[in-house]
Each structure stands twice: as C-alpha cells, then as structure tokens.
Structure 1
Amino acid sequence: MVTDLDAAPDIARVRTSLTQIKDTRGTRVFRVVNGVILAIVCVLMLYPFLNIVAKAFSAESYIAAGQVNVIPRGFNLTTFNAVMSDAMFWTNYKNTVVYTVVGTVIAMLLTTTFAYALSRKHLRGRNGFIGIAVFTMFFSGGLIPNYILVAQWLHMRNTLWAIVLPGAISVFNLLVMKSFFDGFPSELEEAAALDGMSTYGVFFRIVLPLSKAILATMTLFYAVTQWNSWFSAFLYLDQKSLFPVMMYLRNLIAAASGSTEVTGDMQDAVQIGANIQSVTMLLTVLPIICVYPFIQKYFVSGVMLGSVKG
C-alpha cells in the first residue's frame, strides 16, 4: 500500500521537473514571443474601435483629411446632439431593448428545451427531428414565402412577434447545446428520477442550474443577434414608432449620405454627414460592451463545453 509519505518524493521530483522545464531557454523564448504576438493582436483588435471613437468626436475637416487616428481632433458633439435630441431615437432604443429581452428569452426557452429533448437517446423519432433541424440550415422557403407566412397567414405584421418569433431558434446554437447535453452525466438524472422528480423537474432543477456556462454563451449569441437585427423590421414594420434603433440609425445614415439638403445650419449638416457612421456604431455597440465583461468567464468555458466533438 502506497502512503502519502511514500509518494512525497515522487511529487517533489515532478515539481522539480516542471520547474526545470519552465526555466529552459526555449520556454522563456516562447513566453516572450507569445507575449509579443498577443500584444500585437490586442492592438490590431483595439485600433479600429478606438478609431471609431475618435472619429465620433472629431470635426469633419480632420476626418476628411485623414488626420484622425485614436485621438479626436477638433472635438465636437454635433452629431451626438443631433441624434440624441430626437425623441424617436429613444423610442426606437426602447423598442430594441424590448425586442432583445423578449426575443432572447423566447429563443433560450425554445432552444434549451428542444436541445435537451434531442439529446435524450430514448426519444422516439429523434433522428428525424435532428434531420429536420439540420435541413433548415441549408434550405429555406425563400424571402417571399416567409413574408407571406408572417404578414398574411399569421397576421404578425407591425407586431412584436414578427421580430422575435421567425428566427427564434438558431440551428447552430441548437446543435451546440445538444452536444453539451449529450455529455451531461446521466447518473444525476437517474438519481433525480428515482426520487420521484418528473422530466420537467429534472430539466429545470438539475440540468439547467448545472449548465450556466453554455446558457450564458447562448444568451450572448442570441442577444447580440437580436440587438443588431434590422432586416426583419425592414420587412414587417411600417410604423416608425415600432422600429428598432438599428433601423432608425440605418435610415439616418441613408439620409445623411444621400441628401444634399438638410434642415438646419449647413455646417452642422456637413458635420453629421461626415462622422455619423462612427457615432451610430459607437451608440449601438456600447450596451454589448457593457454586458460582455459580466459573462465573459461563462462565455469561454461555455464555448469549449458545448463544442461539437468529432
């Protein structure tokens, strides 16, 4: 029988070996090179965003001359004032928040339940359901049939449901969650079933609380997709009071780019046309940037846990 005292020398030798490996010249070179590469990648990733921020607060003349990098030149708030003083902007912003929250909740409810059902090998017709889901990744009914279905048959035009229901389930996210649930320990579910817990009880009280990483990841995916969506609103919404903020900003950019006459002072109009794209990108990306740090730790582990195994 091997005791802790007998194993102590072996553990010490392993620790010594690891220390020696870490102190080798090749390892030190690797750390330096790896640090330099990561620093370059960080700079490359941050520069476009910092450039957008700088252009959003810069004057038109400096932007046109290509003199704006990461520091604003000719600081001004003309475009911000033009956008944020419009009451319709805030109405559309509120709509986007509602669409994102409701759409994400519905999408997560449908995706998690469907994925969990598909992960159960005793489900009758399981392969058929998986085949139907995968089929929709490659083939669709087309734009016109979808429009007729949503607008005329389901009568969802100019409603919240036209935005949140047609794309409620992403098949890619569904397959990732199914792969995660496939690897879930069956012993926990069997023990809960022996205690008299129903299938729904096992799912909501056992499975979901232990799946926080993949749930956070899928929530982020759905929320970002819904937040950035504008094409569904372009198709199914006619009333400006129902537009999401992306649709508002799209129309604003189109108006600033295609119109030569803008009401108000001409200098302000030129300024709005010069940096409105930077301002709109900044306003729309900020909420996601504010949310991401709180779920980043779940995001990385969730992607790895839910990865499709070959």
Structure 2
Amino acid sequence: MINEVKSDRIFDLCNKLVVWFFIIIISYPLLYILSASISDPSYVNSGKMWLIPRDITFEGFKRVFESKDIWIGYRNTIFYTVLGTFINLAVTLPCAYALSRSNLVGKGIIMGLLIFTMFFDGGLIPTYLLVRDLGMINTIWSMVIPNAASVWNIIVTMTFFKVTIPKGLVEAAEVDGASVFRIFFQIVLPLSAPIIAVMALFYGVGHWNSYFNALIYISDKDIYPLQLFLRDILIQQEMTAELMIQGGNPEAIGEQAKIASIIKYAIMIVSAAPLLIIYPFLQKYFLKGVMIGSIKE
C-alpha cells in the first residue's frame, strides 16, 4: 500500500468537507419541511422551529387524508406513472438501439429531425389542437401520449448502447442467424438494466410530478392526478383564510391561517414521499447508468 503524502491527505479532507457541506445544504430543506409538517404552525410561522419538531401534531396530514380525492389522485397518478413509464421505455429503448447501429439507413437525417425538436417547439395552441383532434381531451391518453419520448433520454440511451453492448456479441448473434428482434430482446435488454432503471426513474419522476397536461387537457375530476387535487386543497385553504380575514374574526382568522400553513407542508410530504422511498432502491443503477451513458465514442 502506497503511503499518502501530506498533500493527498489535505486534498481528501477538503473533498470530504465540501461533500458534507453540500449534504447539509441539500438535507436541511427536506428535514425542515418534514419537521414543519408535524409542528405547531405558530412555531413555524414565528421562526422558532429551525429543525427539531415543536409541539408535534398530525393535524395537517389528517386533514389532507380526510379528503377522498387524495386517494383518487394517488390511484390515478400511480396508474399514469406506471403506464406512462412503460410507454416511454417502449419508445425510447428501441429507438435508441436502432440509432446506435452504424448500418441504420438515414441515421443522420433521423438524428437531425430529433435534435431539431429539442430547440423548436410547436407551442401550446398547436399542441392542444392536435391533442383535441386526436380525441384525447378528457382521457387518460392525454397524460401519457404527448410526452411519450424525450430526445435527450434517447441520446443518452443510444450512447449507453454504443459503449456498453459489445459489437462482437451482436455480430456473433447475427452470424448464428438471430433476428434483430431476438438480439434486442434476448441480448441487448438483459445487459441494459442500469440504463433501463435510469430511464424508468427519469420518466417516472416526470409523470409523478406532472400537472400541466392535466391542467390543460382534463376537466373530469375522476381522472385528475394527485398534483391537481393537492393544488385544489391548498387553494381552498388559502381562499378560506382570505374570506375569514374579510369577515374580521381574529380568532377564526388565526386558526385558519395555522391550518393553511400546516396543510401546505403536509402536501409537500404527501406528494414527494413515494419517490423518496423508491429512489434508494434504484440508486446503484442510476449512478452506473448515468456515468456510462455520458461517455461518448
């Protein structure tokens, strides 16, 4: 074992200090929101609660989960996330693999058209008219079809295939008579678990947090995603507080303001908790896939 010189030890120490500094910066807001969601709002609003919960209460979560709309929203969002991510992967993976093949006819033109869409967009009105003409207004498809693929994710996945999948392995399979579909499903996909996990995470987070498409294309509450229900709850609480202020009842105003404050933090936890729970299980694939997919030939 090579002994570390003094400069190496100083460098390692500086790296550790920088890493811990960023860990604290990133962790504090998460811990603060968690503590604020179960603390008495008077301590939070007055700035007396910095990190440790004060006068613990679960009133915010109780009021959020009392709404049956929350469970409808969870059901719909989970469905949109699973179905949307499946569609995303079904489009992204074959497209990226095809573009990673050097013998693809018209590869340069296809890449040019894909990259063109990254810089130029049709705009909201043409997109809405297209979705309407396709009959997807007020349907689940308006939540998963318009964003079926991301050009950036296709490029990252394509690079992963180029770097990771040995050309000799594919050529050997072709010599043995394997079809393109058999090579893709039986050779390429089993070797691509890291990038599949990364893409699933990227797309899944996007679908889970998506609310703009629902805001534009959906008016039926039965198919609202969770984010719109949470938005409505927050708006209702704020409107109630404003009406009480106009009514001039100081005690009612103070109580409603507290409720609105604690619900705000509870909503943040309710919307983010599932992703925070799932992420650690995909972290090893996430890191490996991003690093390999970022290397260019």
TM tier, shorter chain?
Answer: over 0.9
| 2:39 is the alignment partner of 1:52 | no
CA RMSD of aligned residues (A): 1.6
| 2:151 is the alignment partner of 1:164 | no
Q: Offset of 1:181 from its aligned partner?
A: 1.6
Structure 1 unpaired stretches of 5+: 1-14
Aligned mates of 1:135, 1:226 — CA distance in 2? 24
* Bigger mean CA deviation after superposition, 189-198 or 130-139: 189-198
CA distance 1:268–1:90, change in 2 (3 Å): farther
| 2:160 is the alignment partner of 1:173 | no
Conserved 8 A contact 1:78-1:268: no
Aligned mates of 1:256, 1:137 — CA distance in 2? 39
State the TM-score, normalized to the length of structure 2: 0.93
State the TM-score, normalized to the length of structure 1: 0.89
* Bigger mean CA deviation after superposition, 210-219 or 268-277: 268-277
Aligned mates of 2:255, 2:83 — CA distance in 1? 38
Q: Offset of 1:235 from its aligned partner?
A: 0.7
**Pick aligned residue for 1:100 from 81, 89, 96:** 81
Structure 1 residue aligned with 2:229:
248
Deviations 1:111-153 (A, max 9, x none): 00111111112111111111111111111111011111112x1
Describe how 1:32-181 pairs up with structure 2 within 5 A: 32-151=13-132, 153-181=133-161
Aligned mates of 2:114, 2:264 — CA distance in 1? 37
The AA in structure 2 aligned to 1:150 is V
Conserved 8 A contact 1:54-1:70: yes
Structure 1 residue aligned with 2:196:
215
Aligned mates of 1:188, 1:286 — CA distance in 2? 42
How many residues are matched? Answer: 288
Q: Offset of 1:257 from its aligned partner?
A: 2.5
The AA in structure 2 aligned to 1:57 is I
Structure 2 unpaired stretches of 5+: 245-250
Higher relative contact order (CA 8 A, sep 6+): 2
The AA in structure 1 aligned to 2:60 is T
Q: Offset of 1:268 from its aligned partner?
A: 5.4
Deviations 1:66-105 (A, max 9, x none): 1111111221112111110111110111100000000001
Conserved 8 A contact 2:63-2:263: no
Conserved 8 A contact 1:79-1:271: no
Structure 1 residue aligned with 2:179:
198
**Structure 1 residue runs of 4 or more that deviate by more than 6 Å after TM superposition:** none
Aligned mates of 1:80, 1:48 — CA distance in 2? 19
| 2:282 is the alignment partner of 1:288 | no
The AA in structure 1 aligned to 2:280 is P
